[in-house]
Amino acid sequence: MDWGTVPAWASAFLTSGSLLLGFYILLRDRRKEERQEALKVVCWSEYGSADSPDHGMHVVHVLNTSSRPIYNASVLVDLRLVAFDGFEGFGLAGIIPSAEEATTRIDRRMNHRKIFPVAIGFTDSDGFDWIRDLGTRRLYRDPRSGRRYLARIRARLRLAKLFGWRRVLARGGPAQSIRRRLLR
C-alpha cells in the first residue's frame, strides 16, 4: 500500500486548513452583521426626580435607531427574592418601529421590596433575541434562540448522565454574575 509522499500530505493538510479558515471567516462576518442591527438599539434607565410626576418610579427608555423594527421589547427586573434567583419581565412594547422610542415606568417598590431594572430584552427583525444590560451597556445574544439553545440542552443531558440531575439543575447563589443570570 502506497501512502504517498510528504509533499502530498503537506498539501492536503494545508488545503484543509485553508478551508477551515475560510469557513471561520464567513461565520465571523455573519455574526458581525447580525450584531450590527442590534447595536443600534439604545436603552437607558433613569429615576424620576422629586419635582416630576415620575417621582418614585424607574423610567426605562428604548430608542430604536436601526433601519428595521424590533419586537417584543421587555424590561427585565430583579425582584431581590431569596427563593427566586431570576428576573421578572415587564412588557415594554410589541413593536418599536425604526427611529421610534418606547418608554415605561416601573415602581421602585413592589410588595415592600425594592426592585430595579437590570436589562432590556428584545427580538430583532431577523428573529434573534438580544439582551442589553443596563448597568454595563453590553449587548448579549440570548443563547435560548437558535442552535445554541439546542446545543446547551444536549450538553445538560450529557452532564446529567455523568453527574445526575440534581447537580446539573442546581442554581448559583446571589454572587453569580448578572451576565450568567441573564443568559441562563
Where residue 174 falls among pLDDT bands split at 50, 70, 90?
Answer: very low
Over residues 133-144, the mean pLDDT reads 82
Separation CA 48–CA 53 (nearest Å): 8
* Cell numbers representing residue 157 in the block: 443531558
Per-residue pLDDT, averaged over 64-88, amounts to: 78
CA–CA separation, 179 vs 149, rounded Å?
16
pTM, rounded to two decimals: 0.66
* Alpha-carbon dihedral sign for residues 120, 37, 41, 68: negative
pLDDT band at 171 (very low <50, low <70, confident <90, very high): low
Instruction: Check pLDDT > 90 for residue 115.
Output: no
Summarised one tens digit per residue, pLDDT across range 5-20 is: 888 889 999 999 999 9
